[in-house]
Amino acid sequence: MSMGKGNEVAGLIRSFEEKRNILRVVELCLDGESVQIVIESIDGCIGVFNDLKEYIGDSSLKMNDLPNSQNLKLLRGVLPTYIEVFNTMLASNDLREDVLGELSTSSYFSDIWKIESDEDFLVNIMILFYRTTMLHVYPELREGDAQISSSIEECSVLVREKGKDNIVFGASRIWFENFEEEGFSRTLYETAKKWFV
């Protein structure tokens, strides 16, 4: 799936010396078609997470094959949409500063900055915003070692298994290929790699 101007957005984000400026670029581009495609894709995975039992029933994967989603489901049964979380961050200066502060100083997702594909970079940076904001809004998720990004990525495999295109799945390949270190099950990886191009 081509995102056209999404590559320009990713290029703008990469061009900033200070990571804290990313928010401004994404905020300016939220109405852009390419960013909307990413949001819809992330929200599709969130929808799968919210209805996980239904999706697992029709899947070759079982709950034990989704350890990150299983843990997150215990901590928080339902996740809000991307825009709900993003708007929550924008509505609070303190929250925004906390999120941007963590994004600019944390090395937790330093590998995202090494992603060469602009499309994959944009998807991963937007998931990173969601994840970081969720951890600040719901501190019990951090305390419970919730892997929000990994849960979204696990759910992207379920979306793909249903035969639907999902750019989160494609952008997650780098994490799936390193499944042991990233905390994914071997079964999930084996299922995902059937669709790697």
104-153, pLDDT tens digit by residue? Answer: 777 766 788 788 888 888 899 899 999 999 999 999 999 999 999 999 99
The whole-angstrom separation of Cα 43 and Cα 106 is 25
Exposed e or buried b for every residue in 23-33, given b needs 16+ CB within 10 A?
bebbeebeebe
Other residues' Cβ atoms within 10 Å of the Cβ of residue 70: 16
In this structure, what are the phi and psi dihedrals at residue 59, rounded to the nearest 5 degrees? Answer: -110, 155
What's the pLDDT tens digit per position in 146-196?
999 999 999 999 999 998 989 999 999 999 999 999 999 999 999 999 998
Handedness of CA 184, 187, 190, 193 (dihedral sign): negative
- Domains held by the chain: number: 1
Domain that residue 14 falls in:
5-193
pLDDT tens-digit readout, 34-46: 788 999 999 999 9
